[in-house]
């Protein structure tokens, strides 16, 4: 994409030889917006990012994996500031327009020697063609890079959006629950970009869960270079841009859940027929977070009682005698009555698929919502038991 360059290298932060240091560089100051974790324990880059984003401009984002730089006190903040300064000096750009994101183990100090030697090398690798390297450099327990490139049209002018994300564990919708970067060449104001990003996040990253844990480092950042001729400056054009960024964010969020630690199945829970929007969200979220539901999905057991029970404890208004429950198009419960062994056998076959839709109709109103989640397997326990060893 014009206006942006990317790079990713192995700087030695990780001991396994994988890429661990990445950089996004904007050819000119890009309009910037960001959302951060709602956890009260936050990493040094988040503390600094919340201040820097007030300028609404960005020239570079330095991101590392293997070390979260969290719970590192004032030294952690000083180290993050020093990293930004090294980038600024090497690129001859203002330090205050350099952002930093980190992901990895909590509590360990940044290995500053790796950054001091790695950043100059990283900068030599900057290229429009090195997006894959950046995407790889931010991974932790992820098994796949998460990249999406889309082109859209406003008033006959094309614009592009590129999304890059990492996330596989410690995923819960209390902001964005991962690191994600949205780069676009559209011309848009900082205020409109922030509004669009918040709306997109609400429909995507706020509607996913893997394990119910909120990270300390979550950052969702959008950068707009304005290098295309497309402009989002009135109601119609901003609406088009909103749909575009919604699509990109949802696809990234979906990639994250599909790559959940130890996951074997991607599940979408749809709650409809709720009396209020709040009820639809409560029921969706509670079902998606339920460990009993997640383990039943992994075991391919159509244990529908776990789903209806989760809805019942969610705080949403429910009437058991009115509930309908479907796996894809297969009904399992209608008007609160189980449809029997034959329906369970058909449902069990559907549960062998790697992607499943579950629909719970409360039949109490017209409101609906949806959540994406994955199953729990033995591999999830193994990954997290051995994460630091």
Per cent of the chain over pLDDT 70 is 98
β pairing state of 146-154 and 98-103: unpaired
3-state DSSP of 6-31: EEEECCCCCCCCCCCEEEEEEEEEEE
Q: What is the pairing mode between strands 367-374 and 266-274? A: antiparallel
Active site residue 37: no
Find out whether 67 and 110 touch, Cβ atoms under 8 Å: yes
Q: Are 253 and 339 in contact (CB under 8 A)?
A: no
To 10 degrees, the CA torsion angle through 113, 178, 202, 174?
-100
Does this model's pTM top 0.85? My answer is yes
Cα angle 57, 102, 376 (rounded to 5 degrees) comes to 120
Q: How confident is the model at residue 137 (pLDDT cuts 50, 70, 90)?
A: very high
Pairing between strand 98-103 and 57-65? parallel
pLDDT of residue 186: 98
Domains, the chain, in order of start with CATH, read 4-258 (3.60.70.12), 266-385 (3.10.20.340)
Report whether 64 contacts 29 (CB < 8 A). no
Confidence of residue 235 (pLDDT cuts 50, 70, 90): very high
DSSP three-state, residue 104: coil
User: Which entry of 177, 219, 227, 359 is annotated as an active-site residue?
Assistant: 177
What is the rounded end-to-end Cα distance, in angstroms, of the chain? 39
Per-residue pLDDT tens over the stretch 238-275: 999 999 999 999 999 999 999 989 999 999 999 999 99
Taking CA atoms, 228 is separated from 85, 161, 325, 362, in Å, by 30, 11, 47, 46
Q: 285: helix, coil or strand?
A: helix
Q: Residue 387's pLDDT band (boundaries 50, 70, 90)?
A: low
Q: Supply the mean pLDDT for the chain.
A: 95
What are the pLDDT digits (tens) for 94-116? Answer: 999 999 999 999 999 999 999 99
Strands 330-334 and 337-338: antiparallel
Beta bridge partners of 270: 359, 370
């Amino acid at each position: 994409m014009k206006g942006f360059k990317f790079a990713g290298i192995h700087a030695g932060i990780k001991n396994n030889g994988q890429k661990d240091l990445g950089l996004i560089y904007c050819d000119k100051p890009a309009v910037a917006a960001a959302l951060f974790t709602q956890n009260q324990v936050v990493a040094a880059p988040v503390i600094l990012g919340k201040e820097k984003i007030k300028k609404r401009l960005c020239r570079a984002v330095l991101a590392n994996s293997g070390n979260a730089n969290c719970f590192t006190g004032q030294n952690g903040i000083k180290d993050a500031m020093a990293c930004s300064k090294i980038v600024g000096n090497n690129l001859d750009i203002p330090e205050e327009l350099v952002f930093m994101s980190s992901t990895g183990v909590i509590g360990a100090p940044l290995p500053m020697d790796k950054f001091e030697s790695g950043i100059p090398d990283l900068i030599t690798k900057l290229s429009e063609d090195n997006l894959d390297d950046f995407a790889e450099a931010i991974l932790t327990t992820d098994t796949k890079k998460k990249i999406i490139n889309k082109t859209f049209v406003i008033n006959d002018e094309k614009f592009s959006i590129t999304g890059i994300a990492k996330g596989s564990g410690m995923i819960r919708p209390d902001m964005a629950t991962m690191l994600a970067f949205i780069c676009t060449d559209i011309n848009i104001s900082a205020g409109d970009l922030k509004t669009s990003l918040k709306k997109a996040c609400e429909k995507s990253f706020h509607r996913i869960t893997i394990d119910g844990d909120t990270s300390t480092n979550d950052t969702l950042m959008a950068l707009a270079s304005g290098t295309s001729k497309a402009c989002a400056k009135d109601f119609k054009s901003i609406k088009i841009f909103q749909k575009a960024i919604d699509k990109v964010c949802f696809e990234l969020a979906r990639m994250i859940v599909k790559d959940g630690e130890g996951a074997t199945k991607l599940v979408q829970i749809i709650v409809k027929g709720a009396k209020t929007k709040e009820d639809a969200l409560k029921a969706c979220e509670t079902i998606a977070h339920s460990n009993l539901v997640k383990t039943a999905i992994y075991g391919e057991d159509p244990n529908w009682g776990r789903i209806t029970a989760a809805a019942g404890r969610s705080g949403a208004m429910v009437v058991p005698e009115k509930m309908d429950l479907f796996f894809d198009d297969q009904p399992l419960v209608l008007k609160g009555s189980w449809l029997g062994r034959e329906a369970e056998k058909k449902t069990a076959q559907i549960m062998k698929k790697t992607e499943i839709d579950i629909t719970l109709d409360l039949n109490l109103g017209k409101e609906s919502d949806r959540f994406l989640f994955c199953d729990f397997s033995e591999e999830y326990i193994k990954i997290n038991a051995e994460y630091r060893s």
